[in-house]
Amino acid sequence: MNWIVAGLGNPGAQYDRTRHNVGFETIDLLAARWKIKKIKKLKFQSLYAVTAYNGVKVTIVKPQTFMNESGRALRLASDFYKVPPTRVVVVYDDVNLPLGRLRIRPGGSDGGHNGMKSILYHLQSAQSPRIRIGVGAPPGGEMVNWVLGGFPPDQRKTIDAAIKRAAEAVETLITQGIETAMNRYNREEEAQDG
């Protein structure tokens, strides 16, 4: 059966490499790992590409709806490919996790993340596997500028390593199952508080 792997973010050069766009960066890295030259097809209000990874058909998606409407794009893609929510993997940033920490879950609440709130609403399910990448909490509590801001140079190495582990976690999840991915990546202590 097919999988959809969606990385959340905001379209536009001004959002490149910001905290909110680590999901997009993970999709770009998966494309590079899977020898997809460029994710440039536009459909489902998303940039997307279809490929096979270890014999499994995977559609990788970068919704172009802006973060808060991510669910609209994923609903279009999942309806078109007839992929159930349990096979729609979502990769996104989490301010509640320390910088660089991964947290993989088979489903659950939106955790206050507007992109996930939209996905739960449009897919009418809380059963989509998710890979959350810790970006740390804002020191002063001002959330919008924090998530739309970039990483200082001293944090970039940590977040790049986390994005690489998130891409590996996606590969593990779709070929070996969520339990294996959770056991392998939720326990890693490589992350640093930032």
For 117-137, b/e burial (b = at least 16 CB within 10 A) is bbbbebbeeeebbbbbbbbbb
**Amino acid code (one letter) for 86:** T
The arrangement of strands across the sheet holding 56-63 comes to 41-43, 46-53, 56-63, 3-7, 88-94, 130-134, 102-105
How far is residue 179 from each of residues 105, 122, 136, 158, measured CA to CA in Å? 9, 26, 25, 25
Contact criterion met (CB below 8 Å) for 61 and 77:
yes
Residues annotated as part of the active site: 20
